[in-house]
Amino acid sequence: MIIEHLLTLDGLSSSEVYNLIEESLKVKTKWTELVSKNSLKGKVVLLYFELPSTRTRLSFEVAALRLGCGTIYLKEEDLQLTRGESISDTARVLSSMGDLIVARVKDHKRLVELAEHSRVPVINALTNMHHPTQALTDLVTILEVKGKLRGVELAYIGDGFNNVCHSLLIACSKVGINIRIATPRGYEPSEDVVKRAIEYSKESGSKIIILNDPVKAVKGADVVYTDVFVSMGRESEKERRLRDFSGWQVNKELIKYAKEDYVFMHCLPAHRGEEVTSEVIDDKKHSVVWTQAKNKLYVAATLLLRYLA
């Protein structure tokens, strides 16, 4: 039996990505009705997290509890992994007792190994290379606020070699969003991820552009997106990174190059005063970061229903 996992968005066709997005919006609309059905009663979701999380953990735990699932939250130090047990043996044990594993791990290769030895589906809740549930949430939010995906102009400003940017590249290339990535030199996204996104874009019509100029990226954008300059696990590089990213902040001066009806997005947590100013993130007319954050709940619920119902 082949077990379907969600480790990246690469394995999903464009239509499957669209279906997940549309289903998430339906789940949002019918949330009260779905909660009342308690349709996942008796299922158990295991959340294995090697890294801290606010929105992703909350979205899966709350969605599971609202839909009737039990949840068990497991940190790396809670398990025998810290005493030498292999991730493959741990996967065998976890999957023999739970119905679904939601995993946030430091190294993507470790997640792949976990999935290879799991008897139940594994959902990637973030690795160093990919964050597929975040990208799905971003597309849900864009469709909700813009009314379309194909032809939307998205500008991503900041660190390109990170999980959010990589998953956004794949997601946008699957659904026809034109994405411009602007990073300082040396911080461009993975060449392999860019290559795959370009291949997917041939079917969807998406345009993939990598730049080293934030103004060119933002000019005419429908969506302006940024992430922290210092990601989890990169704290030792903070001083150098903040120096390298000087002048790359999303602020009122930069955002004026976007379309008049632009929306601002951020996966959060935000380091106010670094990658974005409070003036931009708190702009009630343009910022949709809180809608974006709440939509993680409905994406999580959609995935739980897909894998467990």
Residue ranges and CATH numbers for the domains of the chain are 14-130+295-308 (3.40.50.1370), 133-292 (3.40.50.1370)
Q: Two tokens at 255? A: 């955002």
Residues ≥6 apart with Cβ < 8 Å to 109: none
* Mean pLDDT estimate for the chain: 97
Mean pLDDT to the nearest integer, 71-92: 95
pLDDT given at position 272: 97
Beta strands 122-124; 100-104: pairing state: parallel
Backbone φ/ψ region at 247: left (φ over 0), alpha (ψ -120 to 50), beta? left
Residue 1 pLDDT: 47
Question: Which H helix or E strand runs over 226?
Answer: strand 223-226
**What integer pLDDT is reported at residue 2 of this predicted model?**
58
Give the mean pLDDT of 142-148.
Answer: 98
2-6, 179-183, 235-239, range with the lowest pLDDT: 2-6
* Residue 234: predicted pLDDT: 81
Per-residue three-class SS string for 69-129: CEEEEEEHHHCHHHHCCCHHHHHHHHHHHCCEEEEECCCHHHHHHHHHCCCCCEEECCCCC
Tens digits of residue pLDDT in 254-305: 999 999 999 999 999 999 999 999 999 999 999 999 999 999 999 999 999 9
Mean pLDDT for the stretch of residues 121-126: 98
Query: How many other C-beta atoms can be found within 10 angstroms of the C-beta atom of residue 114?
Result: 23
| Average pLDDT value for residue range 83-111 | 97
